[in-house]
Amino acid sequence: MSTRYIVGIDLGGTNIVTGCVREDGGDFRGERSIPTSAEGGPDVVVQRIIACAEESIAALRAEVPGAEVIGVGCGSPGPLDTRTGVVLLTPNLGWVNMPLRDRLQSGLGIRTALDNDANCAVLGEWWMGAARGTRNAIGLTIGTGIGGGIIIDGRLYHGSTDLAGEIGHMTIEANGRKCKCGNYGCVEAYASGPNIALRAVEAIQTGASSTLPSYVAGDLSLITAQKVYQAAQAGDALAHDVVRDTAHFLGAAVASLINIFNPEAVVIVGGVTLAGDRLFEPLRREVSRRAFKPAVQVCRIVPGELTGVAGVYGAVRAFQEQVEAGIV
């Protein structure tokens, strides 16, 4: 059995998660998580990434005698350039043209690859999670925003400039809500975590009856998507309607993706999966109603399985793909 491992790094605006995954994906060691501390600036964040990765490596070597670390993969918010390893812009961290790959490679002394964090989460679910065994899959990562990733013929698809997979900015309402990207009617403007909460708040402010205010001591600014899911589970009619409508918005986007890419699986990753069947059952119905029937019949729509570590697994697999492609 191989003792060759790759370090996976999932860099988020709030937390850094690292771990060591055996090259065949069959063993995971040394999971660590620390706050990103983005307010400290890029140098602080880089040092924290390195420290977290080093903790994972130390744990691996303590648990697996003779373990060899052959590479590092890092998933970062983007947009970014996988060939140069530069993060072009990331508002959550305040970075512009940050040479993250070189900084990590220099600090750790190990060959390093860089990819988009949403791509990595989807790649992880394809490699070792909910879409394992498929050749073609689509993933949506739903949190503060909506990202995604596209697997075609067993490879992560990047597009011409590493921008493929911006699923959150698919238009589902031509004259709809304004999105933070400047467009109108993006699915993110309806179905991201903050916008799920916003739709609930707007309904309450226009007079709809709901128990949601009791979850936040009357302070509507504290309502989150998670609170909406909790209220829906407890039988709140307004929260139920918000979750149902979220499924309809996502269903319009997923149906289009299925029609275009004909995947075997669509994987939904992120906090929205906490809504469970209250989301997934109407989502599947909406997709079945909208999508081309022969395509939807061969496609599973499922929640992710690698809770909290999909990005780590995906960063490891991204390193392997970039080595195979001669990028690193």
Domains and their CATH numbers in the chain: 4-125+308-324 (3.30.420.40), 133-303 (3.30.420.40)
Please state, in angstroms and rounded to a whole number, the distance separating the CA atoms of residues 251 and 239. 18
pLDDT tens digits for 211-256?
A: 999 999 999 999 999 999 999 999 999 999 999 999 999 999 999 9
- Per-residue pLDDT, 231: 98
- Ranges under pLDDT 70 in the chain: none
What is residue 164's three-state secondary structure?
coil
E-strand stretches of the chain: 4-11, 15-22, 28-35, 68-76, 80-81, 86-90, 95-98, 112-116, 137-142, 146-152, 155-156, 265-270, 300-303
- Per-residue pLDDT, 34: 98
Please state, in angstroms and rounded to a whole number, the distance separating the CA atoms of residues 320 and 328. 9
**CA 251 to centroid of chain Cα atoms:** 18
Burial 239-271 (b: 16+ CB within 10 A, else e): bbbbbbbbbbbbbbbbbbbbeebbbebbbbbbb
- Per-residue pLDDT, 10: 98
- Per-residue pLDDT, 236: 98
- Per-residue pLDDT, 121: 98
Tell me which residue of 140, 156, 81 sits closest to 113, measured CA to CA: 81
- Per-residue pLDDT, 1: 81
Name every residue whose Cβ is closer than 8 Å to that of residue 55 and which is 6 or more positions away in sequence.
18, 30, 32
